[in-house]
Amino acid sequence: AVDLLTVGESLVSLRAAGPLAVGGALTMHVAGAESNVAIGLARLGHRTAWVGRVSDDELGEYVLRQLRAEGVRVDGVTTDPERPAGLMFLERRTADLTRVRYHRAGSAGSALGVEDVRAPIAEGARVLHLTGITPALSDSAREAVTWAAETASRSGTLVCLDVNYRARLWTREEARAALTPLTTYASLVIASADELDLVDEPGAAESTVVARLAARGVDTVLVKLGADGVRAHTREGVRHVAAVPVTAVDTVGAGDAFSAGYLSGLLDGLDLDDRLRRAVTVGAFAVSSHGDWEGLPRRADLSLLDEHETG
Ligand code: CKP
Ligand code: MG
């Protein structure tokens, strides 16, 4: 069994340095929140696997090749004989203002279903990482994620859910209706402050959401505060850890890097403060470099950004 199994859609991302409407060179990358997390953990030496569907062409081959090169296991991946690769165009306007255009409706990845996740879930993993993007892709993808979460949690796998709301995929109401029931299978929920009420009632206060998640069996809620770091709610109380001060050049992928850092600390048996410190450190590497995951640290790199405070 692997340390971390993650399920989702990996996209081919075509990045422009400036406005897309002006044209110019595009660079080709693998994107996808779940595979970003798998790469982040693989860089830190953990055994990881990604499961999803890829197109049966050069683009699907490219996705698999990149993930394999990063040490992520892809042997559970299904190749879809008909559907195309999911694409994403990304234009950067400022360091933290990027605009994304998806071409993923009807893609191979969005056709994910329970059959695609059965074998990998049966093989087991210490942690199953899911995000709120996958259930937005299709009814069958939502079923697959729910089935995976339920089955894994029943067999003692720790289930982590990153809310990851995508306004271009569904409304807040649709997201809330799908994601709230998913949290009953999760031990760990990760969200930015503005995503928290997507696993509770609209406008619910942070303390209310955290209490209701705890009642559903969630033992840790990580509220990401961007440049202000993270607030962690656990059974032992609330902790705040500051972000590592760095110059941000590209914030896409920061959330996934944060998740990877936290989960790495969890797998290593670190205490809460050290897990949070690893999370903000890996996040800092992600925002300091271009690309979702290209700049993520290896273990020896972690100490490069060591001096920052907790409180
Ligand atoms: O929340 P993050 O900025 O870490 O997520 C970025 C990823 O999967 C990116 O790789 C993109 O492809 C996506 O989120 C998405 O589907 O929006
Ligand atoms: Mg995110």
State whether the beta carbon of 76 lies less than 6 angstroms from ligand 1.
Answer: no
Q: Of all protein residues, whose CA lies closest to atom 16 belonging to ligand 1? A: 32
For residue 44, how far is its CA from the centre of ligand 1 (angstroms)? 20
Residue nearest to atom 1 of ligand 1 (CA): 255
CA distance 265 to 274: 7
Is the model's pLDDT at 144 over the cut of 50?
yes
The residue whose C-alpha atom lies closest to atom 6 belonging to ligand 1 is: 253
Q: Report the predicted TM-score, pTM, of the whole model to 2 decimal places.
A: 0.97
Cα separation, 264 vs 45, in Å, equals 9
The whole-number pLDDT of residue 64 equals 98
pLDDT band at 311; cut points 50, 70, 90: very low
**Do the Cβ atoms of 238 and 202 come closer than 8 Å?**
no
- Ligand 1, atom 2: nearest CA belongs to which residue? 253
Residue whose CA is at the smallest distance from ligand 1 atom 15: 32
- With a cut of 80, say whether residue 95 has pLDDT above it: no
pLDDT digits (tens, 9 = 90+) for 236-276: 899 999 999 999 988 999 999 999 999 999 999 999 999 99
Write the ipTM. 0.97
* Residue of 30, 34, 133, 224 with the most ligand 1 atoms within 8 Å of its CB, for mutation: 133
Question: Would you say the CB of residue 292 lies under 6 angstroms from ligand 1?
Answer: yes
Share of the chain above pLDDT 70, in %: 98
Q: Note the pLDDT of residue 307.
A: 57
* CA 260 to ligand 1 center in whole angstroms: 13
Query: pLDDT > 90: what percent of the chain?
Result: 91
The pLDDT of residue 310 is above 60: no
Average pLDDT over residues 298-310: 78
Q: What is the pLDDT of residues 111-122, one digit of tens each?
A: 999 999 999 999
Q: Answer yes or no: is the C-beta of 33 below 6 A from any ligand 1 atom.
A: yes
123 within 8 A of 93, measured Cβ to Cβ: no
Count Cβ atoms within 10 A of the Cβ of residue 240 and give its class: 0-12 exposed, 13-18 middle, 19 or more buried: middle
- CA torsion sign for 286, 288, 291, 294 is negative
Question: Is 164 touching ligand 1 by the criterion CB < 6 Å?
Answer: yes
Catalytic residues: 256
Q: Is 90 exceeded by the pLDDT of residue 146? A: yes
Q: Is the CB of 133 under 6 A from ligand 1?
A: yes
Ligand nearest to the CA of 101: 1
Residue 116 Cβ inside 6 Å of ligand 1? The answer reads no
Partners of residue 28 on adjacent β-strands: 14
- Candidates 140, 14, 145; CA nearest to 83 is 140
Q: How confident is residue 171, by pLDDT bands cut at 50, 70 and 90?
A: very high
Q: What mean pLDDT value characterizes the chain?
A: 96
